[in-house]
Structure 1
Amino acid sequence: MTAFVLVPGSYTGGWIWQEVAARLRESGAEVHPVTLTGMGEGRDLAGPDTDLDTHIEDLVRLIDQVDAPELVIVGHDYGIHPVLGAADRRPERISRIVYLDAGLVLDGESVLDLLPDPAVRDRLLRQAEDSGLISPPSLDDWPSLGSTAGVPADSLARLVELAAPQPLGTFSRPLRLSGAASGIPTSGILCTANGLSIAMVETVARMGEPRFKPLLDPGVGIFELATGHWPMLSCPDELAEVLLRAAAGEGHRLSAPEQPALHRPFVLDVPERGRERVGHVDLYLPDADGPRPAVVFVHGGPVPPGMRPRPREWPAFVGYGRYAASLGAVGVTMEHRLHDTRSYEQSAEDVAAAVELVRADPRVDGERVALWFFSGGALLSADWLATPPPWLRCVAATYAMLAPMPAWGLGESRFRPAAALRSAGRLPIVLTRVELDIPEIAASGEEFLAAAEDCGADVEVIDVPLGHHGFETLDHTDEARAAVEHAMRSVLGHLRG
């Protein structure tokens, strides 16, 4: 018999698993929905010393009482922290760990460490100053923890009613891992309406992100559920079925390609041209006298800090820089520190510094500059759309993430291009879309265009039929070449107009 230990996320208790537990028991499984100390009817037991280690001990005691030969432990959201801690202490008792819409946590990290928005972290700390407890969200704020898509209204109301204050120590205490559980088979369940999909995870893992590298192990199975962050409430039958399949070792396997797409040649055959490197900026200079307009290309991400070659050396960005220079503009590629979802603040500083460096160069017409953003780097366009300076003649974006993924925790941040559009005025925007983009990124583009229509923003859309994310090196087709040429002509036209 297989036993499932179901560990809930922030502010919730074992009650949240009620329907899933019933379905699993109907299949013949033994099920243990967990209410961690202070998070349910016994919430009065939570005191100033209740922390992550308390919750780990809760699970260790339960594991020691389970006799079933196969024990699958499931961690949702915050619940993966105590799950990993308990697995590290009892690795011989656990047959599989299931990450349910949960992050990949490393030794020494706390929940607060992983929050991408410093303002949210500071707010939680202020809430807990006196009592040591963090109040659960209100009904309107609950989606800030993760998409509530698919949750019936009565279930959402019950979620708010039964939510318990979270002891600060459970968020602030780092998870300590010895590595003893590293050999336990794992499964991941991604909730696509919360901004995570197999396609997105596969893209990041293949780029070499160390945190995602374990997912390339052939023993790791990954599943998708087309719902928000609370599948135990929105689709309990489907979740129970997926948990049974995970326990059986099923799931999609990721694989690393022989040659990553970003290392392949640029779609256009552009003339060779040397670069001039200044710090984190590369300049591709045209054959022209006097100052020339400039196009600054801002790469996407997150990109692991140790990844080689670096983004400005990828064939796509070298190609864009050379192409701009061949047409009489200064092509600028750069690097910024978008290493994870917590890095947008420092990346924004890097982009601003690079732009100032470029504008100060005597070979650049500092009054005629365009910014061109790619993929996850497009969230950085929000600053420039919100307060466009007079010298910014155009913003371009290609296969662009134009709204933060719900799972990233950036909903309260300033990095929301759709919201910034209202202040963009008549600033020209050139948007290149690919037909076969990652669905979550494509959806963010639709949200952006709806906002643009609502406020009358000046957006030109260029579509790439059958194009993929990263089409400039993946798709050597006539349509791909035409799209790059069209986009560059439009951007340079705005610079010269």
Structure 2
Amino acid sequence: MTVFILVAGVFTGTHVWQETAAELAAAGGEVHAVPLSGVDAGHPAPSARADLETHVEDVIAVIDAVDAASGREIVLVGHDYGIHPVLGAADRRPQRVARVVYLDCAMPQDGVPALAAVPDQTVRGQLVERLRRGETAGALAPPARDEWQRWGSTAGVSDGALDRLTALAAPQPLGTLLQPLRLTGAVATVPTTGVLCTRNGVSIDLVQRLVDFGDPRAAALTGPQVSFFELPTGHWPMLSCPAELADVLLRAAAGEGRRLRPAGAGTPPAHLRPFPLDVPELPRDRRGHVDLYVPGTEGGRRPAVIFVHGGPVPAGARPTPRDWPTLVGYARLAAAEGMVGVTLDHRLHDITDYERAAADVTAAVELVRADPRVDADRVALWFFSGGGPLTADWLTKPPAWLRCLAASYPILAPLPNWGLTDSRFRPVLGVAHAGALPIVLVRAGRETPEIAATVEAFVTAAEDCGAHLELVDVPNGHHGFETLDAPEETRPALLHAMRSVVTHLTSS
């Protein structure tokens, strides 16, 4: 018999696990939902005094209550914030724990408080300031009914369940978010399973991409003791699909799940595969964080197309994006059309880095426009994937020299788990101010539902305000179709989009 010990996330208590616990028990499991001090109603310790260490002790108490001589294996499940006390407890009782399940949560590290994983960046900033001032007492008020989305996607949660979640929500003691997690490293010996909720913006393929980029934090996820599952739902699967969650937890306890491929194993990762078109082998001219591909030495000043990569991309990724075959291919294709093709590196290493990445893109644009080979009054910007939010500034206040804005399989609104609700990086809102700026949008027909929803919202907003939007579709294309799909499927749309951009740059 497996013993499942379930630990809930911020503002929530044992009540969220009722349906999932019943399913696990019906399948023969023993289930304990941990009442966390200062959060669960009636549990001792005033919320003002509860901290992360308090909650670690709460979990340890449940572990110690399980008869060690019974031979029953313990699986610890941490949802959201709950993974922090779970890891703290497993680190002190590694021999007692058979597996740790990360349920749609971050990967906490030693010495880092849980506030680092708070998705609402406005709240996170306020907590950082309170920590800086040494104000660790008190509690954070729970969200109102219409504010849960700021803490994770509510996709799949019924109105009744959302009403109940709101009614039973409790203030979160600040000490639980501000006190650093302390790990000795013993927990590293415990097998782990990640359960990713795709409607909240994370998938196994996305994690595999981080491994392929060379992110050292992700490299450990390729070990034989690590497995993954996906659930096509939002951030609260215990409310949206409790039976499916229970099934996944049972399979995780049995050691099932998908394994990740180590970086460099097998075929090259998608971002390092060849560009699908034959393009001239022009040399690059490297200027700071910018590379220019210039078509010959004749012809005076030429229009420029600046290609802005997506992300987040780990800071240590090699090669850096401006040397990826896809971006180099696009730049050389632009040069074959008589333009100056430009690639660049920007510092979008985390969701919190959009401000810094936007500044890097602006600096790159200024460098390119100042180049004597470039017609400073004829420039196009072309964004990819997670670079999509960076279009917002250019859509909101398009300068006269910006003759076209293009985007391929872009993310055009913050995803639910990004916490960027109040940020300026919202192209869906910015397009209303685009005026006469031509916009070329390349859509992947097999885009992930979460990203496709942002594209659909953008298209609707563009149509409502009469923006000059041209749609170029790759019906069978996936996100990153240039290197994932058959060239014959992608070439026509790729060439069409490039020639549209060139037409806007060269027309009077």
TM-score range, shorter chain: over 0.9
Cα deviation, residue 371, structure 1:
0.8
| Aligned position for 2:483 | 473
Partner of 1:176: 182
Per the alignment, in what secondary structure is the counterpart of residue 373 of structure 1?
Answer: strand
What's the CA shift for 1:43? Answer: 6.2
Is 214-223 or 452-461 further displaced after alignment?
A: 214-223
2:199 is paired with a residue whose SS is helix
Letter in 1 for 2:369: R
Q: Does 1:377 align with 2:387?
A: yes
Q: In 1, distance between residues paired with 2:493 and 2:401?
A: 26
Deviation for aligned residue 1:145: 0.7
Alignment of 1:10-89 (within 5 A): 10-42=10-42, 45-67=45-67, 69-89=72-92
The reply to whether residue 195 of structure 1 matches residue 227 of structure 2 is no
Identity %: 60
For 1:298, the aligned partner's letter is: V
Letter in 1 for 2:4: F
How far the C-alpha of 1:3 sits from its partner, in A, is 0.5
Q: Which amino acid aligns with 1:197?
A: S
Change beyond 3 A, Cα 1:42–1:387: farther
Question: Residue 257 of structure 2 aligns to a residue in which SS?
Answer: coil
Residue deviations 1:92-131, cap 9 Å, x none?
A: 1100111111112222322322346653323456799696
Task: Compute the displacement of 1:230 (Å).
Answer: 1.0
**2:468 aligned with 1:488:** no
Secondary structure of the structure 1 residue equivalent to 2:403: strand
Letter in 2 for 1:282: D
Query: After TM superposition, where is structure 1 displaced by more than 6 Å over at least 4 residues in a row?
Result: none
1:44, distance to aligned residue in structure 2 (A): 6.9
Aligned length: 497
Matched, 1:396 2:406: yes
CA contact (8 A) 1:116 1:342 kept: no
For 1:124 and 1:130, locate their aligned partners in 2 and report how far apart those are by CA, in whole Å. Answer: 9
Give CA-to-partner distance per residue, 1:165-217, whole Å, 9 cap, x none.
11112112222222211121111212222122233333333322223223323
Within-5 A mapping of 1:445-456: 445-456=455-466
Q: Give the match's secondary structure for 1:141.
A: helix
Distance between the aligned counterparts of 2:138 and 2:400, measured in 1? 48
1:241 and 1:377 map into 2 onto residues whose CA distance is: 36
| Aligned twin of 2:302 | 292
> Counterparts in 2 of 1:40-439, with a 5 A limit?
40-42=40-42, 45-67=45-67, 69-115=72-118, 118-124=121-127, 132-256=138-262, 257-287=266-296, 288-439=298-449
Aligned partner of residue 342 in structure 1, secondary structure? helix
Say which SS state the counterpart of residue 45 (structure 1) adopts.
coil
RMSD: 2.0
Q: Deviation per CA, 1:148-174: give whole Å up to 9, x if none.
A: 122222221121111111111211222
Return the offset for 1:47.
4.7
Secondary structure, aligned partner of 1:436: coil
In 1, Cα distance between the equivalents of 2:240 and 2:120?
A: 27
Q: Which amino acid aligns with 2:164?
A: R
* Contact residue 199 and residue 438 of structure 1 kept, 8 A: no
Structure 2 residue runs without a partner (length 5+): none
Change in CA separation of 1:167 and 1:423 when aligned onto 2, cut-off 3 Å:
same
Greater shift, 437-446 or 222-231, is seen at 437-446
Please give the per-residue CA displacement for 1:246-278, whole angstroms capped at 9, x wherever unaligned.
Answer: 111112223244311222221111111111111
Do 2:119 and 2:151's aligned partners in 1 also have CA atoms closer than 8 Å?
no
TM-score by length of 2: 0.93
What code does the residue aligned with 2:22 have?
A
Scaled by the length of structure 1, the TM-score of the pair is 0.95
Aligned CA distance change for structure 1 residues 465 and 118 (closer, same or farther; 3 Å): closer
How far residue 452 of structure 1 moved from its aligned partner, in angstroms, is 1.9
CA distance, structure 2, for counterparts of residue 389 and residue 95 of structure 1? 59
| Alignment CA distance shift 1:120-1:348 (3 Å) | farther
Q: Helix, strand or coil for the counterpart of 2:4? A: strand
Residues 416-458 of structure 1, C-alpha deviations (whole Å, 9 max, x = no match): 2112211112211111122333333233222222222222222
| TM-aligned CA distance change 1:118 to 1:144, over 3 Å | closer
Which digits, 9 at most, give the CA deviation of each residue in 1:374-407, with x for residues without a partner? 1111111112112212211111111212222212
What is the distance in 1 between the residues matched to 2:376 and 2:80? 47
Task: Give distance in 1, aligned partners of 2:473 and 2:150.
Answer: 32
